[in-house]
Structure formats: structure tokens, C-alpha cells
Amino acid sequence: SRDLVEKWDKGDKPIYGINTGFGFLANKKIDKSQIEQLQLNLIRSHCVGVGEYYNEDVTRGMMLLRANVMSKGFSGIRAEVIELLLTMLNKKVHPLIPSQGSVGASGDLAPLAHLALTLIGEGEVLFNGEKYKTIDCFNKLNLKPIKLQSKEGLVLINGTQAMTANGMVQLYKAKNLLKCADIIATISLDALLGTNKAFDLKIAQVRPHAGQLKVAKNVNKLIEGSEILTSHKDCSKVQDAYSLRCVPQVHGAVRDVIDYVEKTLLTEINSATDNPL
């Protein structure tokens, strides 16, 4: 892919993002002598994010997900750009990226521009809990910034990695909440002297929503061996309150939504997201 970009770079055929302007200026041909400056200008001009910086989890997520996308080989970027990004990730050099400014539809242009800015030795980073000018941190760690070549600025800023990194962090928290919810429901069932008959797998199998079946299995596993459950085996109570006996349906529906979100996010983080794709 990179060989193709460099071949087109030397030719006269106008190819978007390589030897043309962007957006409204897509029809403007760029002189060969200005191709590298075009990429540099693109990064600097999009560093207009505002607000609080992303936290470490989201920033690291953005770095990793962007490296993953570029590594697929559909973007035409040099391997050394990806390698520097991964080196920063491994050495815990985190770009300071303002959290507000994404335009969504065209990708996370502003957040990713702030990330890309550090790769060229500009902007600021956080290292060992201290804020540094990127170039000072690079000098401290003997790292060399990259010099952007044709298309590379465009590759670095067009993508959904701020959105997806945020999404994955929230997904992780949501899945932990789901696990806690099943545990709390099981404790409540035992404490309120409820029965686990509503969690019989035969019930879930005749109305086979995936989330409902999973919750029923979880609760049965969690309550297994309960002495409270066996102590009222022959009690006269006919049924438990809705809040207990409908746990599989309620928790299950939430699980189905979260599973859909996970499927969508996993597809997106393993997709090539680049301009002009």
C-alpha cells in the first residue's frame, strides 16, 4: 500500500489526499514540492480541541486502536509511524488530547490530530505523571519524531478511535455492572427467601432470548449450594415478587443490548477507517 502511495505521489494524476487539497479544496492540485507541508498543515490546523483531557484509559485506547487500524495495511502509511506510536504506548508516553471537538461524521479529526501532533514532536504529553513538551520527553527517552510524508497526516486523523476507545471503556464498565447485577439479584433472592424456580433453564429455552438464558444460568450457578434455598423447599408461598422472578427477562434484555453494542464496537475497532474510505 505504501509503495502505491509513493508511486502516485510522483505522478501527475490527481489522487485525493495525496496531491490534492481536502474537503472543499479537493479539486485543487498540490505541487509536488508542497506535498509534505500539506500533511503537516493538516495536522496543525485540526488541533483545535477544547475541554478536559481524555483520561489515561481512553488515551491509551485511542493509541492502540489507531495502531491496529493502520497495521491492517489499507492506509498506505509507513511502518515506522506505527512503530513510534507503539513505542510511546509501551513507554507510557501519553499525548494530552482535549476531549471535545470531534465532528463524528468525518471521524475524530480534532482528537486524533492532537495525538498525531505528538508523533511529529509537537504538542504535549504526560509521562510518569508529569506534563512535558513532546520534544523534551522524546529527547529524555531518546525517541525521534517522524517527518510526515504524503497521505500520512490524512491517515492519522481520519478515524473513529476516540469514539471507539470511549465506547470500549464504557462497554467494559457495563459488562462489570451486568455481572454485579446478577450477583446482587442472587443475594436478594436468598435474603428474601425466594425460589429459583423462575430461573429454570427449561423456561428460558422455550422463550430463547440469549440474554435471558445467560442470566438464568448465572443465577443458578451462583445460588447452587445455598442452605437458605433448601430450608424453604416445601413452604406454602406460591410465587415471588416480580422484582425477583422477572430478573432473567429484565437483566437479559439489557445483556442483549450490551451484546449488540459489543458486536458493533468489535467490528469497528477491527475495521480500516481512513480517508477516502
* Catalytic residue IDs: 16
Q: Starting at the earlier edge strand, list the strands of the sheet with 130-133.
A: 93-95, 124-127, 130-133
Cα–Cα dist 17/107, whole Å: 15
On whether the CB atoms of residues 155 and 70 are closer than 8 A, the answer is yes
Tell me the one-letter amino acid at 13: K
- Count the neighbouring beta carbons within 10 Å of the beta carbon of residue 189: 25
Helices (H), the chain: 2-10, 35-46, 56-71, 79-90, 109-119, 134-141, 152-157, 161-191, 201-206, 210-223, 227-231, 242-245, 247-269
